[in-house]
A and B are shown apart, each in its own frame.
Chain A
Amino acid sequence: MNVWKTLTDPRYYQIAVLGSLLTYGVFVLDFGIDWRNAVAIFLTAQSVQFIATKLTDAPRFDPLSAMITSLSLTLLLRTDVVLIAMIAATLAIGSKFLLRIRNKHIFNPANFALVTLMLATDRAWVSSGQWGSAAIGAFALACLGFLVLTRARRAETTLAFVTGYAALLFGRALWLGDPLAIPMHQMQNGALLIFAFFMISDPRTTPNAALGRWIFGVAVASIAFAIQFIFYQPNGAILALILCAPFVPVIDWVLSGTNYRWDQPRAQALGHSKGAF
């Protein structure tokens, strides 16, 4: 039973992919991930997860989600202040326990921490160009593998975001009369793929109904596009997700569905999960 549970929990695969990306980023791309920040993020995230589990009615300490949040933060957050890295981990995990509606947390933890710190201080940023386009093929394959392994369950958000965003980029290029090499280049962005497959896809913060997830994915894509190409600001997708997240409870209220549980990815019919953080 336990072995089966381990195999079906998609978070192991997620950790493996994010871990490989981190290794690739550090050793091949050399894009300046400070190991002190990484250690600070991992230790802080697990500590906050542990303490919050004790203080709330969460059934048991579960390090996996905090691990994924740590990996996402390490991959995306750039800062030269270790304290900011620690605050990021605290904000991310803390938001899961504090900002909740109807037994679901509102924001994707890493997303919440990134946006809060980018807006609150000028010492934190996201280097979206640093992945280059060399290894995008292998990268996209790993992401698709993730979809297959999770049996495409709840993957509508990712599909809706990627197709919506691509349609807007190609539409813009056609309208401007630009060569298609431009939208192709814009899609080949490592940070965008991490966002699409490991952040917006988070089943704990997406709508419960399939239709809701399609609406949500397209909405995030449209706002991301507007931020990037109408207001000309970087990090459109990350900002769009946090703007759309508060509407998830509304979508859930209109379209009913069941909350997602990591340990029961196939048991969608079990009804409300209690205490999955």
Chain B
Amino acid sequence: MRTFVFSLTVVLTLGITATAEAFCGFYVARADTKLYNQASQVVLVRDDDRTVITMANDFQGDVKDFAVVIPVPTFIEREQINVGDAAIIEHLDAYTSPRLVEYHDPDPCVLYEADEIMVSASRQDAPAAFKSRRERANGVTIEASYTVGEYDILILSAEESDGLIKWLKDNDYNIPDGAERVVGSYLKQDMRFFVAKVNLEEQSKLGFNNLRPIQVAYESEKFMLPIRLGTLNADGQQELYVYTLTRTGRVETTNYRTVKLPSNLDVPEFVQAEFGDFYRDMFTRQTELEKNRAVFLEYAWDMAWCDPCAADPLTGDELRKLGVFWLNDQRDRRIAPTGAQDVFVTRLHVRYDQEHFPEDLMFQETGNRQNYQGRYVIRRPFNGPVSCDASDYQLSVRNRQEREAQMLANLTGWDLDDVRNKITFMDVDGPAPNPVPWWKRIWQ
């Protein structure tokens, strides 16, 4: 029996953690999608009814057993399917990841002019062979079949869902229970399906080890992502990242709550070593607080810049490869290139299952251009030699460390005492660390 995958996911290799320096702290780490063993990543490029979807795949197993059925909102032809570049999605992932930044406390014994330690906010410049045949059997019309990159693509037009299911079964694919019903529902909503199988000959010729993402360009009023088939063959909850590239502003779901993850929070220093765990546990806790029914906003930004940058913004060429078609239009019209990219990116992260997400994700583009990023801050206490009585400073650091511990425990659900044990609390010279009552200072 061959394995049959409904939801698309990508195989990722570990990237190099880049560093960058900017106004919003010194960037030290990011929590990208590699935190999860299996995470689907989808890029949706949309303007008016025109959509380009890129689906990355993290199928694990023998590629000769790999096939995927992809529902699309409308009928498509061969030229509308393309094979993309996984590296660009990795770049987009890195650029939009939640990030950890650090600040260093200045020497408490040196009086700075308040403005002197501010770093000015600098804007970063943005930088097949094919054959066609019609085959009719079991009520399934194979409208077309051809090879695109390392994939054999079959466009199916099944009049009845059992026809499509039967064809898949006849071709030895595993069909999860309940698939027939969902396929039937999609067909009645005028959705179409295509099947992508790996063409081993082409794959070895091309020399790609990983499966590259599949891209489809289509025109449809439906701004949505079909997730219902994906919930059928999954064990428990699934991790999905949706990146949207639009022109007006943020994208949000209209049939589920879109919630901003808590951001811009101070956390203890040791989080740097455990940023992945921190992020995973925080995300889990926040989804639980939302009763597993929310879609989380992780990033919303004008693609022209970032601050601090977890990775550079995508180049015009990368964006075009992802299908940002209006950049082509602009180039064709020979409009002088400006600093702005005219692309707004939204990164949504959802953990879904059939129970809590019964309906497909429906989106809308809003006029909201407010920038948002998942940003967590560590503040390094000054640990050089001090030339004055720094007990006030030390006390303030100690109090800050305690607040950070409570914040962390709150965000992640970690045990507060465990958190405290991992913190190297500031030694306070002189009086006990108990805060001095405010009235004692008045008449000193």
What number of residue pairs across chains A and B have CB atoms under 8 A from each other?
A: 81
Once the chains bind, are B221 and A233 in contact (CB under 8 Å)?
Answer: yes
Contacts of B185 in A (CB 8 A): 176-178
Once the chains bind, are A232 and B367 in contact (CB under 8 Å)?
Answer: no
0/1 per residue, B252-269, Cβ < 8 Å to A?
111111101000000000
Once the chains bind, are B358 and A182 in contact (CB under 8 Å)?
Answer: yes
Chain A count of residues within 8 A CB distance of the other chain:
34
Chain B count of residues within 8 A CB distance of the other chain:
34
Chain A 229-252 residues near chain B, CB threshold 8 A = 231-234
B291 at the binding interface (Cβ < 8 Å): yes
B48 to chain A, nearest CB (A): 12
A63 at the binding interface (Cβ < 8 Å): no
Q: A129-B254, A186-B359 are in contact. Are A176 and B368 (CB under 8 A)?
A: no
Cα(A186)–Cα(B366), bound, Å: 21
B248 at the binding interface (Cβ < 8 Å): yes
Contacts of B252 in A (CB 8 A): 127, 129-130
Once the chains bind, are B254 and A131 in contact (CB under 8 Å)?
Answer: no
Once the chains bind, are A186 and B255 in contact (CB under 8 Å)?
Answer: yes
A185 at the binding interface (Cβ < 8 Å): yes
Chain B 333-374 residues near chain A, CB threshold 8 A = 355, 358-359, 362, 364, 366-370
Which of these, A133, A176, A186, A234, contacts B364 with CB under 8 Å? Answer: A234
Q: Which chain A residue shows the least CB distance to B184?
A: A177
Contacts of B256 in A (CB 8 A): 129, 132
Contacts of B224 in A (CB 8 A): 232
B181 at the binding interface (Cβ < 8 Å): yes
B4 to chain A, nearest CB (A): 21
Q: Which chain B residue shows the least CB distance to A125?
A: B366
A52 to chain B, nearest CB (A): 29
Contacts of B290 in A (CB 8 A): 132, 134
Once the chains bind, are A122 and B188 in contact (CB under 8 Å)?
Answer: no
Once the chains bind, are B359 and A132 in contact (CB under 8 Å)?
Answer: no
Secondary structure type dominating chain A contacts: loop
Contacts of A20 in B (CB 8 A): none
Once the chains bind, are B366 and A175 in contact (CB under 8 Å)?
Answer: no
Which of these, A29, A175, A231, contacts B188 with CB under 8 Å? Answer: A175
Contacts of A105 in B (CB 8 A): none
0/1 per residue, B146-186, Cβ < 8 Å to A?
00000000000000000000000000000000000100110
Q: Which chain B residue shows the least CB distance to A123?
A: B367
Cα(A186)–Cα(B360), bound, Å: 11
B411 to chain A, nearest CB (A): 15
Chain A 123-151 residues near chain B, CB threshold 8 A = 123-125, 127-134
Q: A131-B257, A232-B221 are in contact. Are A125 and B364 (CB under 8 A)?
A: yes
Q: What is the interface of chain A, defined by CB distance below 8 A to chain B?
A: 29-31, 78-80, 121-125, 127-134, 175-179, 181-182, 184-186, 189, 231-234
10 contacts between A and B (CB under 8 A): A79-B367, A80-B367, A122-B367, A125-B364, A125-B368, A127-B258, A129-B254, A129-B255, A176-B188, A232-B224
Could you list 11 further interchain pairs (A-B, Cβ under 8 angstroms) beyond the known A78-B367, A176-B189? A78-B366, A80-B367, A121-B367, A129-B254, A129-B256, A132-B256, A175-B188, A176-B185, A178-B181, A185-B255, A185-B359
